A and B are shown apart, each in its own frame.
Chain A
Amino acid sequence: MPLLSLDDLHVVLGGRTVLEGIDLRLDRGEIVTLVGPNGSGKSTLLRAIIGAVRPASGRLVRQPGLTIGYVPQRLAIDPTLPMTVTRFLNLPRRHPAQTLRQALERAGIPGLGRQQVTNLSGGQFQRILLARALLEQPDLLLLDEATQGLDHRGTADFYRQIERVRRELGCAVLMVSHELHVVMRASDRVVCLNRHVCCQGTPERVLSSPAYRALFGPDTVDALAFYRHAHNHAHHDHPAGTPAPAPTGTTLLEASR
């Protein structure tokens, strides 16, 4: 049984159809990325999965007892609400102090436990949100543009952590992202959304599909180039004998300039 399956899901918000005919299946251990232009319903899809918006029709089946870790796009904490990092990590369930210390170390922000959440930088807060979601040992991790406010290094760390979490917890990861080139590399499957699922498959396949190009226009060439380029670099580390993919990356990158 898949962790999550959506069958012909429709969502209507304020009389407007935001999602139509969504079919999606998520299995344990998969990293799936949702891409799509603004207003294509990416966040709405995540909100439907957590149960915050009710589908107008279709089926959404979660594996019984499914634990979800959710990292929202942004979270505004009212300044009248005093909240230390430790207290925040303990919501809604408390964890042993040792576990919390480890969680902060893993997130790359040790010793911040006594800080007020409102005093953190955007990047630090984003890491705390992820750390909190991971403390619940989720079966499914939902990330809504979770790297907003992180610098390049922070973003790279973030995706490395996601990889490790997938390995250790065996959870599925469904993330929304705009940073196509970075995210594509980190995902097993890409789902391109524009109210309906335009195309889905391996990053390479989606990037070269006409539906994807029609949606994202000339930028796709860049993303594809970046993807292949980076992919090739990754292969350099392998021992000789691994057949190198066609070195189209660099040429394409230059062609697009």
Chain B
Amino acid sequence: MLDDFLVRAALAGLGVALAAAPLGCFVVWRRMAYFGDATAHAAILGVALSLLLSTSIFAGVLVVSLLMATLVSLLSGRGYAMDTLLGVMAHSALAFGLVAVSFLSGVRIDLMAYLFGDILAVDKDDLAIIGAGALLVVSLVGWRWSALLTATLDGDLARASGIDPRREQLVLTLSLAVVVAVALKVVGVLLIAALLIIPAAAARSFCRTPEAMALVAAAIGAASTTGGLQAAFWLDTPTGPTIVCLAAILFALSSLAGQLRRRMSRAESPPDATPGA
């Protein structure tokens, strides 16, 4: 079964979608969207460095993403607004990465594959790495779930309950680096953040609890990757971007449905106005 490249691609996509969903929820709740971007964009620098040092791309990307995420965590709150800082870091990392790749004169690399992913080229080794990475992230976030949620609500509230919010931040940083490293092959550097944020954002309007939002985000992510893979096959379009397009369409539909539902519930139960008014 794993000999079919479409099956491998679908499994790879599912793995990334499932790991990205709960993590993506935290990225949305904590307003870290740009943080995800910066970490993902640093991955291209990781690719260049691993090609230069001829180490495994996965390891190189993991290390550089981790360094980037840690650097951003450390620099935050030191004079620059977070969005400015992340804007600087995300695009500098991307630019330095692209320049570093150009130095690799002897190596012919397909830059597009790293920028936009190459899910159809996932081999069995990649699949093993994606599976292990996804499992690691899902178990890490699942294990720390309550502590992470409390720290997301309020750092001091967490402290009072004996939870160190910096440790929980570290858990998220680590998971983010792992997701970036495993998602690189599937959607590429430029679109990893989309896979984190769009399913979580699309899930928001249907959910009443954080757990439900993580599950619905996983379902939307899974539908986007498998559906996107199918659509790319029919339409002969690049797979990574097609997956993100489908996620974006699902987001638009969910926002519309959410708006509609709010309007309907408002029409059903008029606000408790004064009697007779």
B147 touches A83 (CB 8 A): no
B146 located at the interface, meaning its Cβ lies under 8 Å from any Cβ of chain A in the complex: yes
A214 located at the interface, meaning its Cβ lies under 8 Å from any Cβ of chain B in the complex: no
Q: A92-B147, A92-B150 are in contact. Are A80 and B29 (CB under 8 A)?
A: yes
Q: A69-B160, A136-B161, A142-B160 are in contact. Are A82 and B153 (CB under 8 A)?
A: no
Q: Mark B196-208, 1 if CB is under 8 A from A, else 0.
A: 0000010010011
Nearest Cβ distance between residue B168 and chain A, in whole angstroms? Answer: 11
Residues in B neighbouring A70, C-beta threshold 8 A: 156-157, 159-161
Can you name 13 extra interface pairs (CB under 8 A) apart from A82-B213, A92-B163? A50-B160, A70-B157, A72-B154, A75-B154, A78-B30, A78-B31, A80-B29, A81-B29, A81-B152, A82-B209, A83-B209, A92-B161, A136-B161
Residues in A neighbouring B146, C-beta threshold 8 A: 91-93
One of A69, A82, A92 near B208 (C-beta < 8 A): A82
A75 touches B160 (CB 8 A): no
B208 touches A52 (CB 8 A): no
A87 touches B209 (CB 8 A): yes
B158 located at the interface, meaning its Cβ lies under 8 Å from any Cβ of chain A in the complex: yes
- A92 vs B158: C-alpha distance when bound (angstroms): 8
A77 located at the interface, meaning its Cβ lies under 8 Å from any Cβ of chain B in the complex: yes
Count, chain B residues at interface, CB 8 A: 27
Residues of chain A from 65 to 98 with CB closer than 8 A to chain B in the complex: 68-70, 72, 75, 77-78, 80-84, 87-88, 91-93
Listed in ascending order, the chain A residues whose CB lies under 8 Å from chain B are: 47, 50-52, 68-70, 72, 75, 77-78, 80-84, 87-88, 91-93, 114, 116, 136, 142
A50 touches B208 (CB 8 A): no
One of A52, A69, A77, A92 near B156 (C-beta < 8 A): A52
Nearest Cβ distance between residue A85 and chain B, in whole angstroms? Answer: 11
- The residue in chain A whose Cβ has the minimal distance to the Cβ of B213 is A82
Listed in ascending order, the chain B residues whose CB lies under 8 Å from chain A are: 28-31, 146-147, 149-150, 152-161, 163, 201, 204, 207-210, 212-213
10 interchain residue pairs of minimum CB distance: A70-B160, A50-B160, A92-B150, A81-B29, A82-B207, A92-B146, A52-B159, A50-B159, A68-B160, A87-B209
- The residue in chain B whose Cβ has the minimal distance to the Cβ of A132 is B157
Nearest Cβ distance between residue A54 and chain B, in whole angstroms? Answer: 12
A50 touches B156 (CB 8 A): yes
Residues in B neighbouring A88, C-beta threshold 8 A: 153
Nearest Cβ distance between residue B155 and chain A, in whole angstroms? Answer: 7
Give 24 CB contacts A-B under 8 Å.
Answer: A47-B156, A50-B159, A52-B159, A69-B160, A70-B157, A72-B154, A77-B153, A78-B30, A78-B31, A80-B28, A80-B201, A80-B204, A81-B153, A82-B207, A82-B209, A91-B149, A91-B153, A92-B146, A92-B147, A92-B149, A92-B161, A92-B163, A93-B146, A142-B160
- The residue in chain A whose Cβ has the minimal distance to the Cβ of B155 is A52
- A203 vs B153: C-alpha distance when bound (angstroms): 35
Q: A50-B159, A50-B160, A52-B159 are in contact. Are A82 and B31 (CB under 8 A)?
A: no
Nearest Cβ distance between residue A114 and chain B, in whole angstroms? Answer: 8
Nearest Cβ distance between residue B251 and chain A, in whole angstroms? Answer: 13
- A78 vs B25: C-alpha distance when bound (angstroms): 12
- A72 vs B160: C-alpha distance when bound (angstroms): 10
Of A52, A93, A136, A142, chain B has the most CB atoms within 10 Å of the CB of A52
Residues in B neighbouring A80, C-beta threshold 8 A: 28-29, 201, 204
- A82 vs B209: C-alpha distance when bound (angstroms): 5
- A51 vs B208: C-alpha distance when bound (angstroms): 32
- A121 vs B234: C-alpha distance when bound (angstroms): 52
Of A68, A83, A114, chain B has the most CB atoms within 10 Å of the CB of A83
Residues in B neighbouring A50, C-beta threshold 8 A: 156, 159-160
Residues in B neighbouring A84, C-beta threshold 8 A: 208-209
B159 touches A82 (CB 8 A): no
- The residue in chain B whose Cβ has the minimal distance to the Cβ of A70 is B160
One of B29, B31, B204, B210 near A87 (C-beta < 8 A): B210
Residues in A neighbouring B210, C-beta threshold 8 A: 81-83, 87
One of B31, B152, B155, B208 near A116 (C-beta < 8 A): B208
Nearest Cβ distance between residue A173 and chain B, in whole angstroms? Answer: 14
- The residue in chain B whose Cβ has the minimal distance to the Cβ of A72 is B156
- A88 vs B207: C-alpha distance when bound (angstroms): 15
- The residue in chain B whose Cβ has the minimal distance to the Cβ of A79 is B204
A75 touches B157 (CB 8 A): yes
Residues in B neighbouring A91, C-beta threshold 8 A: 146, 149-150, 153
